[in-house]
Amino acid sequence: MLEALGAGPFVLVGKSLGTMIMGAMVGRVDPRTRWVWLTPALNGTGLLAQMTVCHGPSLSIIGSEDGSVGSTRSDEYLSLPGMTHFEFAGFNHTWNHPEGAAVEERSLAEIGRIFDQWLDQTAPH
């Protein structure tokens, strides 16, 4: 499958279980690849160990009510090579917020701005 991707560099984006697939790709794609880990599946999956050898720029976004948020607050996670991490207050794993759709919309727009800015900052030169 990786051969079908062709030459890089890539921006790989995964959410939840998709981040586990990304973890299996670490070290197997163009080293200029940029990694976007949305609500990474860190509890009991071995993903964090795979991420420790991921040296490309990484963007991580998670909600404060996500089951894996504790792992993303650890020094080990926050010091991963090239890691930029954001936590959004009140959001659960499925990006729902107890205050409803208006807060969700504003936060998702902010996530889009963060993503765009990060892409601009990490673009290969």
- How much is the pTM? 0.91
> How confident is the model over 19-43, as pLDDT tens digits?
999 999 999 988 889 999 999 999 9
For the chain, strand residue ranges (E) read 11-15, 34-38, 58-63, 83-88
What value does the mean pLDDT of the chain take?
92
Cis peptide before 31 (omega within 30 of 0): no
